[in-house]
């Protein structure tokens, strides 16, 4: 832990309250936070005062005046990391993962032949959206800073993407869309994610003398155990796309099966579903039978229009058509599982490691759902 004593001393000097925790290298997860001594439930293990945050308001005014008005907060914070005119935060920045780490695990940086043909549907959609945001931000920044390399900016942009916390004053709420209200928090950004949390992160002026963030343990930890927070109730598709990892145990994991269901539908049926807000977003989790949206989508195929309206309107409980729905989804999933799983097999290198794990998890979720459906078809 002595390795990070300079980082801790720097944080404490800046007013960060560090209690019973310390940074440590965690195998397979970069840096993380561990208990430096036993931690009890409700212990506040970290306080980051507002004065230590890096926000849209801490960006140097002189530089801001040179920049276009329509810059995102995300881009401004990335630029803040790249330019850092003060070096007051250089000890914190020295602990950031290098770009080469991101190249191994962040799908946005993988070559396009991998991303176009091997990413699971949801990951691909998320990555496409990220690419749109990144290229828009870069197109605004690059003419203003012609000497800034795209890699350097992309590295900073990804640092912001993977280590910011939701942060909004009432002014920010008026000025910025929800997904662009964020702040960097030194030291708090070292907590790794667990699907069951482990600590809460709150922005609460009652907890602190001055407004800022507090990280409070929601369970006890023994000295040396990793202390975690939750980044949200995220599936492994989202974690892979946004943060570059998948959890082995993830109670929020789920799989989108649009690619299995939508090809079953005619153009007209898809239009009906679109008009009524039911096109796409079909989800399975391996623990329960299919979701309501899937039930509606499959019934548009199986029932006449009038009967379908009755099901959607709640007049028909769907019992009479349930077996046929289950059988149809089961057939579609079995076919899709065999086609899709092959996608993970021929991917080489670092991308392959993460993707093969994800495809294996998808295969399990689909298989477990098939088992549930098989039982139901048998019982009916």
Ligand X SMILES: C[S@@+](CC[C@H](N)C(=O)[O-])C[C@H]1O[C@@H](n2cnc3c(N)ncnc32)[C@H](O)[C@@H]1O
In the bound state with ligand X, the residue whose beta carbon lies nearer, of 84 and 316, is: 84
From candidates 55, 72, 115, 162, binder to ligand X by CB under 6 A: 162
> In this structure, are strands 21-25 and 31-35 parallel, antiparallel, or unpaired?
antiparallel
Query: Could you give the CA distance from residue 315 to residue 367 in angstroms, rounded to a whole number?
Result: 32
Contact map string, positions 170 to 189, toward ligand X, x by CB under 6 A: -------------------x
Contact map string, positions 65 to 104, toward ligand X, x by CB under 6 A: --------------------------------x-------
Q: How far is the CB of 45 from ligand X (least distance, A)?
A: 15
Q: Which stretch binds ligand X (CB under 6 A): 36-44, 190-198, 311-319, 321-329?
A: 190-198
By CB under 6 A, how many residues form the interface with ligand X?
16
Residues 235-254 that bind ligand X (CB under 6 A): 243-245, 247
Question: Is 32 a binder of ligand X (CB under 6 A)?
Answer: yes
Cα distances (angstroms) measured from residue 307 to each of 271, 301, 302, 304, 316: 17, 11, 10, 5, 8
Query: Could you give the CA distance from residue 244 to residue 105 in angstroms, rounded to a whole number?
Result: 5
Query: Could you give the CA distance from residue 283 to residue 274 in angstroms, rounded to a whole number?
Result: 17
Cα distances (angstroms) measured from residue 295 to each of 5, 131, 317, 336, 366: 56, 33, 11, 18, 16
From candidates 76, 168, 190, 362, binder to ligand X by CB under 6 A: 190
Give the H/E segment covering residue 166. strand 164-166
Supply 273's token pair. 């579903």
Query: Could you give the CA distance from residue 14 to residue 51 in angstroms, rounded to a whole number?
Result: 8
User: What is the Cα gyration radius of the chain?
Assistant: 24
Question: Is 27 a binder of ligand X (CB under 6 A)?
Answer: no
Q: How far is the CB of 163 from ligand X (least distance, A)?
A: 4
In the bound state with ligand X, the residue whose beta carbon lies nearer, of 141 and 190, is: 190
Name every residue whose Cβ is closer than 8 Å to that of residue 288 and which is 6 or more positions away in sequence. 372
Q: How far is the CB of 65 from ligand X (least distance, A)?
A: 31
From candidates 1, 9, 12, 29, binder to ligand X by CB under 6 A: 29
Question: Is 318 a binder of ligand X (CB under 6 A)?
Answer: no
Query: Which residues are near ligand X by CB under 6 A?
Result: 28-32, 97, 162-163, 189-190, 192-193, 243-245, 247
């Amino acid at each position: 832990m002595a390795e990070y004593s300079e980082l801790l001393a720097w944080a404490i000097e800046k007013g960060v309250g560090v209690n019973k925790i310390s940074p440590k290298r965690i195998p397979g997860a970069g840096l993380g936070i561990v208990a430096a001594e036993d931690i009890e439930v409700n212990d506040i293990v970290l306080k980051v005062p507002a004065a230590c945050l890096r926000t849209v308001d801490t960006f140097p005014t002189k530089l801001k005046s040179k920049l276009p008005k329509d810059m995102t907060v995300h881009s401004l914070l990335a630029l803040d990391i790249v330019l850092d005119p003060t070096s007051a935060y250089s000890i914190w920045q020295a602990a950031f993962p290098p770009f080469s780490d991101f190249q191994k695990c962040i799908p946005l940086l993988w070559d396009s032949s991998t991303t176009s043909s091997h990413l699971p549907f949801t990951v691909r959609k998320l990555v496409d959206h990220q690419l749109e945001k990144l290229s828009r931000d870069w197109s605004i920044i690059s003419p203003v800073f012609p000497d800034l390399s795209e890699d350097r900016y992309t590295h900073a942009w990804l640092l912001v993407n993977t280590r910011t916390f939701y942060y909004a004053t009432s002014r920010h709420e008026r000025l910025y869309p929800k997904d662009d209200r964020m702040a960097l928090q030194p030291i708090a950004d070292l907590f790794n994610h667990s699907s069951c949390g482990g600590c809460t992160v709150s922005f609460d002026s009652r907890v602190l003398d001055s407004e800022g963030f507090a990280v409070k343990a929601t369970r006890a930890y023994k000295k040396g155990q990793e202390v975690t927070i939750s980044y949200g109730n995220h599936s492994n598709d989202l974690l892979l796309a946004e943060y570059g990892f998948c959890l082995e145990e993830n109670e929020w994991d789920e799989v989108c099966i649009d690619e299995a269901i939508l090809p079953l539908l005619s153009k007209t049926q898809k239009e009906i579903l679109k008009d009524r807000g039911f096109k796409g977003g079909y989800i399975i989790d391996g623990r329960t039978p299919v979701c309501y949206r899937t039930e509606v989508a499959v019934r548009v195929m199986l029932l006449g229009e009038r009967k379908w309206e009755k099901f959607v309107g709640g007049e028909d409980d769907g019992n009479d058509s349930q077996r046929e729905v289950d059988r149809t989804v089961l057939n579609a999933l079995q076919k899709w599982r065999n086609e899709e799983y092959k996608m993970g097999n021929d991917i080489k290198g670092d991308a392959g490691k993460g993707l093969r794990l994800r495809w294996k998890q998808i295969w399990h979720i689909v298989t477990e759902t098939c088992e549930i459906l098989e039982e139901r078809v048998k019982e009916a």
